Amino acid sequence: MLSHAPRRPAPTPLALADLVGLTRRVADEVRAGRHPVVVDPEQRWYRRLLGDDFVDVWLIGWATEQAAELHDHGGSLGALTVVSGGLVERRWDGTVMRSRPLRARRSVGFGLGHVHDVGNPSTAPAVSVHAYSPPLTAMSYYAVDGGRLRRTRSELVAAGEGVG
């Protein structure tokens, strides 16, 4: 069983504040029409907007009831900004799952060891921008059993593939 490990610095020159700022800037570009968005009712749509040795930036379209599975981001820091609509983040706080609404223009950052899922419970579509540094290379997925967090599987992430 996993416990809530203390936060440690990530192997990246970018801090959480840098990632939050980056997702906010890209969200402004999306709102200005610089990046087309697709909301696919069959599956969560995403597109990589930027990728280099230090950071990946993703644009995600969320239809009603679409969600990401409970996961971490391996050795990467992350941030997201909601462009439009609203999402809900459920995160493991070390003892229980906590929920928080993420409305349009809201940004959050997440450090190493952050385990969460994100979804769109509303009837309106949502759009978000996500950034990870260093770029995602592995993700683990989890279940909460009897008040404990249990890893169910881990997967390698190839460069430019998938987003959590």
Consult the annotation and say whether 71 binds a ligand: yes
Q: What are 7-60's pLDDT values in tens digits?
A: 445 466 899 999 999 999 999 999 999 999 999 999 999 999 999 999 999 999
Q: What are 112-153's pLDDT values in tens digits?
A: 999 999 999 999 999 999 999 999 999 999 999 989 999 999
Instruction: Please list, residue by residue across 103-142, b when 16 or more beta carbons sit within 10 angstroms of its beta carbon and e when fewer do.
Output: ebeebbbbebbbbbbbbbeeeebbbbbbbbbbbbeebbbb
Sign of the torsion formed by the C-alpha atoms of 77, 83, 89 and 93: positive
Percent of the chain scoring above 90 in pLDDT: 85
Consult the annotation and say whether 4 binds a ligand: no
Consult the annotation and say whether 73 binds a ligand: yes
Structural domains of the chain in order of their starting residue, each with its CATH number: 16-156 (2.60.120.10)
